[in-house]
Amino acid sequence: MTETRWLDAREAHLWQSYRASYRELLAALETRLTSNSGLSGADYALLHPLSTSDCGVLRTRDLGKSVGWERSRLSHQVSRMEKRGLVTREECESDARGSMVRITELGRKAIEAAAPDHVEAVRSYLLDRLTREEQDVLTALLDRVLDGLPARDLCRGDGSIPSDC
């Protein structure tokens, strides 16, 4: 058995800073989104890919991959959104085992109303605090971390689905 490679002070600081910034950034974005639009972060996470897809509809499994969610979490969130009239579920015509999720007109209006302030929050809380060069470096570093993780059947940060899916 190999000996544990404990984190030194610098590495521990990096790890804790990453965890805190990720947690607090998401919390700040969620709070602002909910207070300004009534949408939760989960609502926005699903409405975004639906609103940018062809005809506003995606297979349930592809929607789940695009946000990195397991089937159960996706199903519960879609049910909540369906009750509020933001999305509908449909049968998949090409595959009886599959289903589709479609954004409704109410869902489209909700994300169109929420998006400008949400984008401004992302800029204010993250992007505007970094130079373009720092943004490029951070993107490259995060992509390297993603590339080193065990493969999961999920989308990458750029929204693309890995070709081996």
Structural domains in the chain plus CATH codes: 28-144 (1.10.10.10)
Where does residue 45 rank: exposed (0-12), middle (13-18), buried (19+ CB within 10 A)?
A: middle
Rounded CA separation 109/140 (Å) = 34
| pLDDT of 98 | 78
| pLDDT of 36 | 97
pLDDT along the chain (165 residues), means of 10: 94 98 98 98 98 94 93 96 97 80 98 98 98 98 93 55 35
Rounded CA separation 159/155 (Å) = 6
| pLDDT of 164 | 31
| pLDDT of 153 | 56
Give which of 156, 113, 125 is closest to 30, Cα–Cα.
125
Cβ distance 78 to 101 under 8 Å?
A: yes
Angle CA 51–147–52, to nearest 5: 5
| pLDDT of 54 | 86
Buried/exposed code over 72-102 (b: 16+ C-beta within 10 A; e: otherwise)? eebeebbeebeeeebbeeeeeeeeeeebbbe
| pLDDT of 152 | 65
Rounded CA separation 70/64 (Å) = 7
